[in-house]
A and B are shown apart, each in its own frame.
Chain A
Amino acid sequence: MSSTARTSMSSLPGSVDPQRDKEVRLSVEQVSYAYSASPSQAPLFTVEATSFQARPGEIVGILGPNASGKSTLLRLIAGALAPLSGRVLLNGFPTHTLTPRIRAQRIAMVQQESRLLFPARAREFVLQGRHAHSRALRFESPEDTVIAGNALAQVGAEHLSDRWMDQISGGEKQRVILARALAQQPLLLLLDEPTLHLDIAAQVDLLDTLRKLASQNRYTVVIVTHELNLAAEYADQVVLLQRGKSLRVGPPASVYQRELLEQVFQTPVTVELGSSGRPRVNVLPGS
C-alpha cells in the first residue's frame, strides 16, 4: 500500500534506474522560475531548482511558510507557468508544452476558492470537468453525465447533485469541486490549500477521501498546504520550501526535524512520533 518515497537525489539525470523509471508518473527535474515586474529589473520572486518524483497512487505535500513559492511550484507542475530552467514531465511529456485541452485531460487543479458569478447546481458544476473531453459543439453526452455522477459518488456527494452551489456548506462545496476535478479523469490531481476554510472534521474527511481515491484510482496527488500535521499523516513524501528554495524532499519522518522546521517557520516547535507512526509537530507558544 504505502509506497517508498525517494529523495531529490534519485531524480538527478543519470542516477535513475530505467526499470523503476517506468512507473514514475510525475517527474519534476531541477525546475526553477523567476518573476519580475519588467525584464530589466531584478526578479521579485524566484523558485530555485527543485526536483522530486511521484508515482501513481502517491500523495506529495508541498509545505512552507507564506511566500515560499508553494503555489508557484504547483502552477509550474500544472504547466500553467513555463519553467525558467529544468522541466516537469508527466508520463514523459513536459506539462507546459501541452495545449490547454490536452493538459486538462491529464491534470486537474483544485484551487482555494471557486467563485461563481451565476448560480449553478452541483451537477452542472461537475459537468464542467468534462469540457476538455467533449466534442465541437460541446453538448454533454450521456457518457459525460454518467462520469459526472460517478465523480460525485466517489467523493460521497451524490445527494448534493441537484443543490445550488451557493447553498451548500464549505466542506460540501470543496467535495463538489473535487468531484469536478475527478470528472476530468486526470492522471495528476493538484490541490492548492484545499482545507483552508474547512473545519477539522471536513479537513480530515477530505484528506481521507483523497487517500482512498489515490490508492483506488491510482491518481498522483500533489497538495499545497499549511497543515503540517495533516501533511505528515497523509503524504507519502513532502517538499519543504523556504523563500523559493526546496530545503528537503522525502518522507515526512525524514523532513520533520525540529531544527529544520524551527528555522523555516521561525517558530519554536517540538516534533514527536504520533500514534500512527508519523511525526507530529507541536507549536510552543510564547517561548
Chain B
Amino acid sequence: MRPLTLRLVLLRCLTLAGVLVVVVIVALKLGAVQVSLYGLTRDLLQVFLHHASSLSSNYGMIVLDIRLPRILLAIVVGASLAVAGTSFQALLRNPLADPYVLGVSSGAALGAIVALIAEPRLALPASVAALFTPLGAFLGALATIAAVYFLGRREGQIDSGTLLLAGIITASFLSAVIMFLMTTLTGRDLRGTAFWLMGDLSSSLQPSLRWVLGVGFVIASATIYASAADLNLLLSGEKEAMHLGVDVPRVRLVVYVAASVLTGLAVSVSGAIGYVGLLVPHVMRLLFGSDHRILLPTAAFGGAIAVVIADTLARTVVAPAELPVGAMTAMAGAPLFIYLLRRRMA
C-alpha cells in the first residue's frame, strides 16, 4: 500500500489526459466526411507547433470549426457531470446518486426552459440573454437538490432508499411540468427543445456562453477539489466528520452550490445527459480507489472521455442523421446502473 501523494495523482491524470488526446483525435477523424488519421495527426501537430495557421486541406473547416468546438464542449460537459456526480455521491453518502438520478438535471432543464420562455419578453441585450439560460438552469439545479435533500431525510438522517425515491419522484414531477411548458412552444422551438432534453451537443454556443462555461467549470471544480479531503471524511457521516475537524455546514453548502453550478452549466448547453455522473465515478473508484483527492480529477478526465466517445457514436452510427448523445449514454448506462444496484443489494 503506497500512501497517496500529489505525484501519484498527477501521474494518473497525465495518463488519462493521454487517453483523452487519443480519443479526441479519433473523434476528429470520424464523421460524415472522411478524414485520414495520418494526415489529420500531422496537420494538427503543425498547427500546435505554429508551423501552419490552419489545417491545409479542404477538411480543415469541418475539423476545426465544426468538430473541434463540439468535442471541446463534450469534454467540459462530461467533466462537469462526472465531478458533480462524485460530489453528490459523497455529500449524500449514496453511491447511486448522480445529477440525473436525483432529478437535478430535470430541475436544471426546467430552469433553462423557463428562462428560454421568459427571455424574449424581457428584451435583454444578446450577450446577457445568452447567460440567462445557464442562470435559470443553475437556479433550477440548486432548488431541486435542496428539495431532494429534505425529502430524502428520515428522522434527521439521509436514508439511501428514501433519497433515491425522492429523486425519481421529483424528476417525474419536473418532467410533467416541462411537458406542460413545452405545449406553449411551437414548430422549430418544440423540436429543438425535445432533442435538447434528451441530451444534445450539436448546437453552437454564443462566445460569451463559452467563456462562462469554461471559467465556471474551472472555478466550481477547483472549489470542490479544495474540499476533497473533507469529502473523504464526510463518507463516514456528518457527526463523525465534525469530530475529525471538518466544518460540515460550510463544506456541505460550498460543495452543493459548486456541484449545482456544474450541473446547471452542463444542462444549459447540452440538455440532460444521463448516467455519466453515476457511472464514471464508479469506474474510477474501481481503478484508483475512493479517495476524493484522486477520484475527483480522474473522474473529470473519465467523464470527458466518456462523453466524447458517446457523442462521436451519436453522430456516426446513423450518419448522416444524428442521435441525441443522451440516448447513447442511457443505452449504455441504464443496464450498468441495474447491475450496480443488484450487486449492492446482494
Interface residues of A (CB under 8 A from B): 78, 80, 99-101, 103-105, 107-109, 111, 114-121, 123-124, 127-129, 131-132, 134, 137-140, 145, 162, 180, 184
- Tell me, in angstroms, the Cα distance from A131 to B324 when the chains sit together: 44
Contact residues in B for A180 (Cβ distance below 8 Å): 244
Instruction: Give the Cβ gap from B95 to chain A, nearest Cβ, in Å.
Output: 7
Spot the interface stretch: B2-10, B24-32, B193-201, B298-306: B2-10
> What is the chain B residue whose CB lies nearest that of A129?
B244
Interface residues of B (CB under 8 A from A): 1, 3-6, 93-95, 228-230, 232-233, 235-237, 239-240, 242-248, 285, 290-291, 293
Secondary structure at the B interface, as helix, strand, loop or mixed, is: loop
Instruction: Give the Cβ gap from B89 to chain A, nearest Cβ, in Å.
Output: 8
Q: Pick the contact of A131: B229, B237, B285, B290 (CB < 8 A).
A: B229
Report yes or no: B239 in contact with A117, Cβ–Cβ below 8 A. Answer: no
- Number of A-B residue pairs at CB separation under 8 A: 77
> What is the chain B residue whose CB lies nearest that of A181?
B243
Looking at A108, A128, A145, which has the most chain B CB atoms within 10 Å of its CB?
A: A128
Report yes or no: A118 in contact with B3, Cβ–Cβ below 8 A. Answer: no
- Tell whether A116 pairs with B229 under 8 Å between CB atoms, given A111-B240, A131-B244: no
Report yes or no: B237 in contact with A115, Cβ–Cβ below 8 A. Answer: yes
Looking at A100, A104, A114, A116, which has the most chain B CB atoms within 10 Å of its CB?
A: A100
Report yes or no: A128 in contact with B232, Cβ–Cβ below 8 A. Answer: yes
- Tell me, in angstroms, the Cα distance from A271 to B267 when the chains sit together: 69
- Tell whether A118 pairs with B290 under 8 Å between CB atoms, given A128-B232, A128-B233: yes
Q: Pick the contact of B285: A108, A118, A123, A145 (CB < 8 A).
A: A118
Contact residues in A for B94 (Cβ distance below 8 Å): 117
- 9 closest A-B pairs by beta carbon, nearest first, are A132-B245, A104-B245, A118-B290, A138-B229, A109-B243, A101-B245, A117-B235, A100-B247, A131-B245
> What is the chain A residue whose CB lies nearest that of B243?
A109
Q: Pick the contact of A145: B3, B6, B242, B247 (CB < 8 A).
A: B3
Report yes or no: B290 in contact with A120, Cβ–Cβ below 8 A. Answer: yes
Report yes or no: B247 in contact with A128, Cβ–Cβ below 8 A. Answer: no
User: Can you report 28 residue pairs joining A to B where beta carbons are below 8 Å apart?
Assistant: A78-B243, A80-B243, A100-B246, A101-B247, A104-B244, A104-B245, A107-B243, A108-B243, A109-B243, A111-B239, A111-B240, A114-B236, A115-B237, A117-B95, A117-B235, A118-B95, A118-B285, A118-B290, A119-B290, A123-B1, A127-B3, A128-B232, A129-B244, A131-B230, A131-B245, A137-B293, A140-B3, A140-B4
- Tell me, in angstroms, the Cα distance from A101 to B6 when the chains sit together: 23
> What is the chain B residue whose CB lies nearest that of A145?
B3
Contact residues in B for A117 (Cβ distance below 8 Å): 93-95, 235-236
Report yes or no: A118 in contact with B235, Cβ–Cβ below 8 A. Answer: yes
- Tell me, in angstroms, the Cα distance from A119 to B245 when the chains sit together: 21
Report yes or no: B248 in contact with A100, Cβ–Cβ below 8 A. Answer: yes
Contact residues in B for A137 (Cβ distance below 8 Å): 6, 229, 293
Report yes or no: B93 in contact with A99, Cβ–Cβ below 8 A. Answer: no
Report yes or no: A121 in contact with B246, Cβ–Cβ below 8 A. Answer: no
Contact residues in B for A145 (Cβ distance below 8 Å): 3
Instruction: Give the Cβ gap from A157 to chain B, nearest Cβ, in Å.
Output: 16
Instruction: Give the Cβ gap from A133 to chain B, nearest Cβ, in Å.
Output: 8
Beyond the given pairs A78-B243, A140-B3, A184-B244, 15 more chain A to chain B contacts, judged by CB atoms under 8 angstroms and listed by A's residue number, are: A99-B247, A107-B243, A108-B243, A109-B240, A111-B240, A114-B236, A114-B237, A118-B285, A123-B1, A124-B291, A138-B228, A138-B229, A139-B5, A139-B6, A162-B1
